[in-house]
Amino acid sequence: MGDKSVANLGEFGVIQHIFAPIQSKQGEGVQLGIGDDAACLVVPRTQDLLATTDTMVEGIHFSSDADPYLLGQKALAVNLSDIAAMGGLPRWYLLSMAVPNRTSQSWLEEFARGVKAASEMFHVALVGGDTVRSNAKIVITVQMLGLIGQHRAVARSGAQVGDRLYLSGTLGDSAFGLAHLLGKLPAMLADDVSYLSRRHHLPEPRIQLGMALQDAALAHACIDVSDGLLADLQHICEASQVSAVVDVEKLPFSESAQRVIAQYGRSALELALTGGEDYELLFAISPGAADQVEKIVHQVGVSLVEIGEVVGVGERPGVVVRQGGEVLSIAQSGWTHF
């Protein structure tokens, strides 16, 4: 094949193959980028700095035969989504990788190409990173840094009783796409397989939406749905010391997801609610602010649907799911990492 493994490249060769292709011209606000002991970044006086990180491990967060190009894009997208959930503007990132000797040079090049595509799409600059040898699996860590106006970050902790809960985009597509890849939910139309697996591989971070919500000071609390709608709503409830009610009838499902639910019933519905990796924004707003939501829908072109409301805390913060006026009890609440 003529495709060298990283064992032939040496450490500097690996760095060359990962970082050199990604690096573009100096990013905005980068006083010192890659090549010094630390990057030096300019944070304007009127701004706060947002920082987030996410690690993906081969065999746990992605399979060994995952497409490296898509994986590169996703490594950035999941971090961009966290900046979006705070209402910020992503600016810079660091990339660290542990790579075993068996990894091929072309795998690294494809991965780097995916990272570069996402960084160009979202105007973020690589400002540092590290590569080390791994003895078994590929491990990818991205740290994303962003800017937001002082004291403007949208936390999870501000939801108030009476607030309406909104969700962007559609729910469950990614979980259905992954389930199909894993051999579950086998009966699916070819078009649905391609749509749902694309939604799994290529999350769309809702940066414009997060910024618009922050700009309008509309969201009392916001989170991106990574662990699953119910688990992430539970995070808002705990941080805000409230409870929440979600109505199944209101949940936004794509046509493909609707067909999967029609075919597989309750188990598919539960997967949509708990599966995670939707990377949509879930937020709480005042009950009187519905027309402002409409304005934002027009402004950013992302659908927003009211899915439920914030209620008093009760015994402890919790999420109730209702369908046809009845309470559904849902066993597994989201993706837990350990």
Question: Which residues contribute to the site for Mg ion (CB under 5 A)?
Answer: 82, 224, 226
HSE-up (13 A, CA, CB side) for residue 152: 23
Nearer to Mg ion, 224 or 278 (CB): 224
Instruction: Tell me whether residue 47 or residue 226 sits nearer to Mg ion (CB atom).
Output: 226
Least Å from the CB of residue 52 to Mg ion: 7
Q: 41: closest CA among 27, 49, 53, 29?
A: 29
Angle of helix 266-274 relative to helix 255-264, nearest 10 degrees, comes to 130
Q: In what order do the strands lie in the sheet containing 304-311? A: 221-224, 281-285, 164-168, 304-311, 243-247, 319-323, 326-328
Length of the chain (residues) = 338
The token duo for 330 is 């849902």
Using the minimum distance from each CB to Mg ion, give the nearer residue, 224 or 280: 224
The binding site for Mg(2+) consists of 37, 52-54, 82, 130, 224, 227
Q: Which is nearer to Mg ion, 195 or 279 (CB)?
A: 279
Of the candidates 82, 266, 273, the one whose C-alpha atom is nearest the C-alpha of residue 167 is 273
As annotated, the binding site for ATP includes 129-130, 156, 226
Q: How far, CA to CA in Å, does 166 sit from each of 64, 122, 172?
A: 36, 24, 15
Please say which residue, 81 or 131, places its beta carbon nearer to Mg ion. Answer: 81
Binding site: residue ranges?
37, 52-54, 61, 82, 129-130, 156, 224, 226-227, 277, 335
Least separation in angstroms between residue 226's CB and Mg ion is 5
- Least separation in angstroms between residue 32's CB and Mg ion is 29
Of all helices (H) and strands (E), which one includes residue 2? Answer: none
Distance of CA 233 to the CA centre of its chain: 15
Which lies closer to Mg ion via its Cβ, residue 192 or residue 277? 277
* Residue stretches of the annotated binding site for substrate: 61, 277, 335
Write down the least CB distance from residue 223 to Mg ion, Å: 6
Minimum CB separation of residue 271 from Mg ion in Å reads 20
Query: Which residue, among 308, 306, 310, 302, has the nearest Cα to 290 in the 3D structure?
Result: 306
Contact 304, 297 (CB under 8 A): yes
Shortest Å, Cβ 86 to Mg ion: 9
Q: At its nearest, how many Å lie between Mg ion and the CB of residue 34? A: 27
Nearer to Mg ion, 192 or 224 (CB): 224
Q: What angle do CA 235, 241, 219 make, to 5 degrees?
A: 65
